[in-house]
Chain A
Amino acid sequence: MGVEVLAISVDSPFVHKSWQENELSKMVDGGVPYPLLSDGSGRIGAEYGVYDEEAGVDVRGRFIIDPDGVVQSMEVMTPPVGRNVMELIRQIQAYQHVRESGETEATPAGWKPGKPTLKPGPDLVGKVYEVWKTENAF
């Protein structure tokens, strides 16, 4: 998919090193293959709207940024619930598809590779029901 992952928390790079060596490497062979960034002051998280000042941590926030540096998608969650990697992959596939089509295509709800896309334009106004069925959302 050609996507770079950057993980970031308020922990120092030294704590990241320790966590990678002592725990993550036991979950993933060789440790996680992406950089672990440090937002010690929370300033970066604050700019992205995910820094919880009271708790002093960055909450769970995930941003898909395209090759032009544009934020295409964001998801912000409280700490106790984890993310859904399959949904992240689906969104990246959809955004990449839209970009490759020169933004002539749009991907309706529940789109996955292989499912029909829509080509927005005057001809489609009021006729989405003809080319897209509710079952396609699931």
Chain B
Amino acid sequence: MAKLKCGQLTGKVVGDKDETSKTEEPAKAKEEKMTKIMVGRKAPDFEAPAYVNGEIKMVKLSDYLGKWVVLCFYPGDYTFV
């Protein structure tokens, strides 16, 4: 099984062209780059471990660029609604 990281933000928005030096940025600069969630603005990008078709692998939001996406947060597995 591929090594999995925890779900984390990439510090960029979806479609951000600059993909370099993502880990070397000083925390402050990184914070400034983060956009607050807002309609009409780019979605914050992230990468998270996922269960997909019987496999566990990393899924990155920006890999879906070019497609319509519905992102659904929900309170928990094995709950009721």
Residues of A within 8 A of B (CB): 1-20, 23, 35-41, 43-45, 47-50, 55, 57-74, 79-83, 88, 92, 95-96
Chain A residues within an 8 Å CB radius of B50: 6, 13, 16, 35-38
Residues of chain A lying within 8 A (CB to CB) of residue B49: 12-13, 37-38
Query: How many of B's residues come within 8 Å of A, CB to CB?
Result: 47
Chain B residues within an 8 Å CB radius of A49: 36-37
Chain A residues closer than 8 Å to B74, beta-carbon distance:
7-9, 58, 60
Interface centre among A49, A66, A83 (most CB of B within 10 A): A66
Q: Inside 8 A of A8's CB, which chain B residues have their CB?
A: 7, 48, 71-74
- Which of B39, B51, B59, B61 has the most A CB atoms < 10 Å from its CB? B51
Against A, the Cβ 8 Å flags (1 = close, 0 = not) of B41-61 are 111111011111010100101
